[in-house]
């Protein structure tokens, strides 16, 4: 999570969310911060970019055995993408009561109607991740 926090701090013009993807052996496959403002792309969320980069690096869209570590609870788009990418484990820091889709507003990743459900570890370094968000929106 500390690595994801460091990545989140690299884009001062966008909401500070950082995401990393670790391979089954713990090797970092990809890292990304939000790039919506930089790219003008509404799908430029840190999780989406990290998923794309990890898939490109391994040459496979299935990220089975991989772990996504992100500083903020994923939104519906990102939660859906991590399910579709078959990511095995999700670790996130701060809860997002307005748009969170891993328990706050919805729970996409645990929906039994879907064909894949990752293990979820929430609240990792929660205070530090939440502070990063609060400071940005002041």
Which of the residues are catalytic? 47
Q: Is 78 annotated as a binding residue?
A: yes
Question: What is the rounded CA–CA span in Å between residue 7 and residue 16?
Answer: 8
Is 45 annotated to bind ligand? yes
8 Å CB contact between 118 and 90: yes
Per DSSP bridges, beta strands 89-94 and 119-121 are parallel
Q: Give the DSSP per-residue string, 26-73.
A: S-EEEEEE--HHHHT-TT--HHHHHHHHHHHHHT-S--TT-EEEEEE-
Assess contact for 1 and 69: CB atoms under 8 A.
Answer: yes
Q: Is 75 within any annotated ligand binding site?
A: yes
Q: Rounded distance, CA 1 to CA 99, Å?
A: 21
Please give the annotated binding residues, written as ranges.
45, 75, 78
Please give the annotated binding residues for Zn(2+), written as ranges.
45, 75, 78
């Amino acid at each position: 999570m500390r690595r994801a926090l460091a990545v989140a701090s690299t884009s001062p013009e966008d909401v500070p969310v950082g995401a990393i993807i670790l391979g089954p052996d713990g090797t970092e496959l990809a890292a990304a911060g939000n790039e919506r403002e930089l790219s003008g792309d509404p799908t430029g969320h840190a999780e989406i970019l990290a998923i794309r980069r990890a898939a490109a690096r391994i040459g496979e869209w299935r990220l089975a055995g991989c772990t996504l570590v992100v500083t903020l609870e994923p939104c519906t788009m990102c939660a859906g993408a991590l399910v579709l990418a078959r990511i095995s484990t999700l670790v996130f820091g701060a809860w997002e009561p307005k748009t969170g889709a891993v328990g706050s507003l919805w729970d996409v990743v645990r929906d039994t109607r879907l064909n894949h459900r990752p293990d979820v570890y929430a609240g990792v370094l929660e205070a530090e991740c939440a502070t990063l968000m609060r400071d940005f929106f002041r």
